[in-house]
Amino acid sequence: MSSQISQVPAISPVSIKERTGSINTSEIISVLKGELTALHIKQAFSTEVAEEITTNFIGSSGLRERKDGVPGQYVGASHYRKDAATYFADAENARPYVDALFKNLVDPVRAVFGALKRELHNQGIELRLARSEHGQANVCRGLSWSGTGTFSLDPHDDVAQVLRAGDDYELSAVAHNTVAALNLYPSMPEQGGNLKLWSHKPTVADRISQGVETTGYPYSAAYLEAVPYREFELKTGDIALIDGGFVHGVTGQSGDGKRRLVLNCFFGFARPDLVLWWT
């Protein structure tokens, strides 16, 4: 009976804020503390900066095809399905390519990181990149999803991959707190590519019932059928910050062939006085 029960997804309440302007640190901290589920800031950074990052991504000699079962192209490193040694080595190798996405720009990812570091420092909390003896995380990774059909990135949660990270990862401690996922959009297609967020925060039992215990990916349409959701209509220059524990995905894309590019990273409390940041 109990496995049956866990197959019916519980509805978790969501608190959402959408506005135009600049992201601020009190809103970011609200997401970190689990008070806000999703924050969508429209026109959060300039189209000039967005275009330059997109041009750098498309022309990058570090652009690769994902080979871990998630269709997409990327610049940077992902800890998804990797042990710490592999992830941090990948991050070190990818760093020049990640840095080259921004060249000489005053970029919006480092701006968020810097402002948050300053504010948390004032509160006696350290913010830093996750690290190990093998190296250090990068500030972000660039991703262009290429799934075809209903979703270009299937519904998933970002916590399973952190939970299974293991003891050699200092960031595994974050899985017991909010895993905040920061997404910045330097390029969006004409149609679709929206971020869809379901009112459901899976438990370990839920993941086991869906066969996604270690990945959190992908949740089936049937499982999510009765769950309410919100869809964020994203445009170039927008930022979406979400509690990555909630199931989310990216809708299918169409249009004039303009590609969708997201700069993504994760962060969360590892201890009351330490927030870690990684990709």
Task: Summarize as ranges the residues that interact with ligand AKG (CB under 6 A).
Answer: 143, 153, 158, 181, 183, 195, 248, 250, 262, 264
Taking CB within 5 to 8 Å according to partner kind, which of Fe ion, ligand AKG, none is near residue 195? ligand AKG
How many Cβ atoms sit within 10 Å of the Cβ of residue 21?
9
Residues in contact with Fe ion by the rule CB under 5 A: 158
Q: What is the rounded distance in angstroms from the CA atom of residue 149 to the CA atom of residue 196? A: 15
Complex with Fe ion: residue 49 or 232, whichever CB lies closer: 232
Closer of 135 and 249 to ligand AKG (Cβ): 249
CA angle 12, 14, 20 (to 5 degrees): 160
Nearer to ligand AKG, 52 or 158 (CB): 158
Q: How far is the CB of 157 from Fe ion (least distance, A)?
A: 7
- Residue 183's binding partner among Fe ion, ligand AKG, none (Cβ under 5 to 8 angstroms by kind) is ligand AKG
CB of 261 to ligand AKG, least distance (A): 9
What's the min distance (Å) between Cβ of 156 and ligand AKG?
7
Q: How far is the CB of 179 from ligand AKG (least distance, A)?
A: 10
What span, in angstroms and rounded, lies between the C-alpha atoms of 46 and 107?
Answer: 10
Instruction: Find the shortest distance in angstroms from Cβ 88 to Fe ion.
Output: 21
Contacts of 123 (CB under 8 A, 6+ apart): none
Q: Which does 262 bind (CB under 5 to 8 A by kind): ligand AKG, Fe ion, none?
A: ligand AKG
> Running DSSP on this structure, what letter comes out for residue 81?
T
Asked whether the beta carbons of 203 and 176 are under 8 A apart, the reply is: no
Q: How many residues does the chain have?
A: 279
Residue 158 or 206 with smaller CB distance to Fe ion: 158
- Output the residue with the shortest Cβ distance to ligand AKG: 262
Q: How many CA atoms lie within 13 A of 220 on its CB side?
A: 10
Q: Which residues of 79-105 are buried (b: 16+ CB within 10 A; e: fewer)?
A: bbbbebeebbebbeebbebbeebbeee
Is residue 141 within 8 A of residue 262, CB to CB? The reply is no
Residue with Cβ nearer Fe ion (108 or 216) = 216
What is the smallest separation between the CB atom of 9 and ligand AKG, expressed in angstroms?
18
Q: Give one DSSP letter per residue of 12-61, joined into a string.
A: PP--EEEEES---HHHHHHHHTTS-SEEEEET-S-HHHHHHHHHHHHT-T
Residue 193 CB, nearest distance to ligand AKG (Å)? Answer: 8
Q: Is the CB of 125 or the CB of 250 nearer to ligand AKG? A: 250
Closer Cβ to ligand AKG, 119 or 252, answer by number: 252
- Which of ligand AKG, Fe ion, none lies near 250, with the C-beta cut-off 5 to 8 A by kind? ligand AKG
Instruction: List C-alpha distances in Å: 216 to 164, 209, 220.
Output: 10, 11, 11
